[in-house]
Structure 1
Amino acid sequence: QSDKEGGLPEELSASSVNMAADKDTQQVKALMEELEELRRKLVEKDELLKSAETARNSKSSVQSQVDELKCCIAEKDSIIKTTQQQLSDAKIKLADKQALLEKLQRQAKTSNQMMEKLQEQLDSMESQVSSLMLVFEDQLKDQPIPPAEDYDARPLCLDPLPEIDDIEETEMQKMEEAMKAYLAALAGAKEKQDEESLAAAARARLHLQSFVFKSDV
């Protein structure tokens, strides 16, 4: 009985040890599970941090691209505005040139009309010159030569007078000079085709006509 009573505490002590060991094992196991859970959460957090970093880098890259696109758009807007201004200036210059062209066309039309009018006047003057030349030649042909018997050979006590031939020759020279001046005025009017040259030709014609009419009388 004493042996049985003596062996009982040892059994109780082993049982207590086993229970304590089981308890420790369970605690270790629980700690291991908790540690594993913490490791898993840490890995998840690392992945989240990496994803956040990647997203931040991606956002930064996208923002950089957006800024670059904005810069390109601003440059293109500036180019478009400059081009529009140049186009507007070109339209204004084109309108000015068109107006100048129309003005030159009107002036050319007026000049052509004036040239036609001047040509008609010159043709009329040339016709008048031809008529005057015919009259002048007829005057020379029809001028009578006095017969010799009509002259009185007796000398007269009068102041010497210029001979008729000298007078006629002088008039002829003046008429020829007037004719040359008229022809020169006509040539000048043809070349210049302005009012001043036409007026000079008209004056020369009147001067020539005065000789013709004088000889006619």
Structure 2
Amino acid sequence: MTLLALETATSTCGVAVLDDDVVVAEAHLHRPRVHAERLSPLVEEALGHADVSPGALDAVAVSMGPGSYTGLRIGVSTAKGWALSADAALVGVPTLEAYAAQLRPVAAPGDVVCALLDARRDEVYAGAFRQTTTGVAEHAPTTALPVEALPGWLGTVDGQLWLVGDGAPKGRDAFSDDAFSCRMLSADEVSPSAGWVARCGHQRFDAYGPDDVTTVEPLYVKDVHATPAPSPFD
């Protein structure tokens, strides 16, 4: 399979190309509010470095959320466009699952990786995944919740608990109880990765097949709250 992967759910803007189970090209910008301008050029550059033509793509995988509303809209719409133009399958990958999968090289089977993204105020987007010998399995469902509710949502952890993401510092104090053996990796140490979106996308395609490119939508988790602009006539 030749697969293009996009990661835009956070301030990371990333692209990767996977060919025959190997990530052959990958590029990331860790800057906020550049996705609309830089994502398509990054795609073209990554395909060029991988010597892959758009017509050779079998699938396009995209980080589906939760995360930044704007980033998710840009990523999903761009993925749809590339999938349609290349006549390729579309695969949506849960953002926090791909984030947790990055710890496969260091976490032991049975360990739980809790991926946390800052959701403003005292809330985080949270997803917890148990490491297995072949990948990750859901330990606690992806949700948005107050930081103090994290221990009850997570439940029992038999192995090591790992925290990753820009919401991890918020969660660390909530897991300070002796019941949890907790290790935190900051977003600077482990950032969202388009390469892992590609790997997870390949696995999901093999397991579940493609998504419907015409109906797939980002996984926002929280409702979008827009503040209307004041009327100039008031």
- Tell me the TM-score normalized by structure 1: 0.17
RCO higher in 1 or 2 (8 Å CA, sep ≥ 6)?
Answer: 2
From the CA coordinates, give the structure whose radius of gyration is larger: 1
